[in-house]
Amino acid sequence: MSYLQGSMSTLKMSSYVATCINNQSISTAAYQNVGLDGAMDTNVNTFGTTPTASTSTDRILLPAGKYFIQARLAIYRSSSSTWGGQWYIFKRSGASNVQVGYEGRRYGIVYIGDPQKTSSARAYVESDGTTEIGVEAQAINATITLNSTATYGAQYSGKSRILIWRVL
């Protein structure tokens, strides 16, 4: 299965990866902002624009355009009990965070029940140049750690990332 582009020379696309802080504790109480470390890795940038990650607001400002966003979180808990985490991408609206797209969910050693969800949150966002997005996460049953640097943490699973594709 493939999609055939008319001419490779007309294609424009940009791709960036934002990353998150280490060892952030996420509780079961409520969804909370996933902390950003401010980095924005650019893989390809034919549009010539770059989103900006703020470590003070934990939000990403998107230049005007249309984007696919995919957020996967590396979650950790040193426990054989029942635990997990779920998260979604939000779009800032006034003073509120509004969920967009579909939620991601992972669980630990014990199956946490339905519904099963994909390992990444996904969303499509159109920006007018002032649009900000971010990720909110909540633990299930027990506190979890994002981007753990503990033994058997990120080195064995990879780190959290927010993949941003600008497609138009």
Q: Which residues contribute to the site for other proteins (CB under 8 A)?
A: 1-9, 11, 13, 15, 17, 19, 41, 43-44, 46, 72-79, 106-109, 119-120, 148, 152-161, 163, 165
How buried is 109 (Cβ within 10 angstroms: 0-12 exposed, 13-18 middle, 19+ buried)?
exposed
Measured from the CB atom, is 12 or 27 closer to other proteins? 12
Rounded to a whole number of angstroms, the minimum distance from the CB of residue 151 to other proteins is 9
Q: How far apart are CA 106 and CA 168, in angstroms?
A: 31
Nearer Cβ to other proteins (141/157): 157
Task: Write down the least CB distance from residue 76 to other proteins, Å.
Answer: 5
Residue 149 phi, psi (nearest 5) = -100, 10
Closer by beta carbon to other proteins, 18 or else 62: 18
Which of 29-48 are b and which e, b meaning 16 or more Cβ less than 10 Å from the residue's Cβ?
eebbbbbbbeebeeeeeeee
Nearest distance from C-beta of residue 37 to other proteins, angstroms: 10
Q: Which residue lies nearer to other proteins by CB, 99 or 157? A: 157
CB of 111 to other proteins, least distance (A): 9
C-alpha dist (Å) from residue 73 to 48, 78, 129, 158, 161 = 27, 16, 26, 9, 6
Give the CA distances from residue 6 to residues 10, 11, 47, 84, in Å, rounded to whole numbers and listed in that order: 8, 9, 19, 44
For other proteins, the closer CB: 92 or 141: 141
CB of 60 to other proteins, least distance (A): 15
